[in-house]
Chains A and B, each alone.
Chain A
Amino acid sequence: MPVSVRLPTVLRTHAGGLSEVSAEGATIGEVVDDVVRQFPGTANHLKAPDGALHRFVNVYLDDEDVRYLGGLDTPVSDGAEVSIVPAVAGGTG
């Protein structure tokens, strides 16, 4: 079943300007892969070279950070809302 994936403004230029897209997948990892398949320009923003989630991106499943759930293996149920948000941080270190 498709789930709705909310894209942050910085990713929309790579997804035809859409703020929300529909993606298929039983887990967060599959949903993210489907977004990348549909919009290849998002690949460098979403995935690290080793296939993990890019460390400067946070993914939320119904407002829960998936890193504190099951990461990319987190199961996604029908009607769930997945949100992708850039990690915003910095400072003088």
Chain B
Amino acid sequence: MLRLRRQQWIEMVAHGLDCLPEEACGLLVGRPDGSVEAFRPCTNTDRSARTYAIDGREILRVERDLDASGNGLEVVGVMHTHTHTDAYPSPTDVERAALLASWHFLIVSLRHPEPVARSYRISDGEVAEERIELVVR
């Protein structure tokens, strides 16, 4: 399960809308149990409406900050938007997740006026949807 707070959801949707017509992406910072404590918007280095990529140095910076803070938080997943398709992992998403079996893959579809979020675990090419709990406080 992925547990999101209202503020993070607002930040993600805002980042997604800001990046249109390109896909937006960012890292989910939290605990291994799937509680997201912060959203770190990242630059989509592909600058594309169909693909995204995060510069490894940006990931490195986030992980260094988290290690230095010593509060036990880590990068637990990645959020990206689909600008013109539903919130389901594409073959590219599944292929590129090969080494990230422990991560949560949150996809926000901006295809319709209301943003739609769905979250997945992707392991050995198998996609399993997980529940999203939105903590409204």
Q: Which residues of A pack against B, CB within 8 Å?
A: 6, 8-10, 13, 19, 45, 54, 56-58, 60, 63, 65, 83, 85-93
Which of A19, A57, A85, A88 has most chain B Cβ within 10 Å? A88
Q: Are A54 and B50 in contact (CB under 8 A)?
A: no
Chain B residues with CB below 8 A from A60, complex form: 56-57, 60
Q: Which residues of B pack against A, CB within 8 Å?
A: 23, 25, 27, 46, 48, 50-54, 56-57, 59-60, 63-64, 67, 74-76, 78, 80, 82, 84-85, 89-93, 96-100, 102-103
Q: When A10-B99, A10-B100 are in contact, do A92 and B56 touch as well, CB less than 8 Å?
A: no
Q: When A90-B90, A92-B84 are in contact, do A56 and B96 touch as well, CB less than 8 Å?
A: yes
Tell me the dominant secondary structure on chain B's binding face. Answer: mixed
Q: Are A93 and B90 in contact (CB under 8 A)?
A: yes
Q: Are A91 and B99 in contact (CB under 8 A)?
A: no
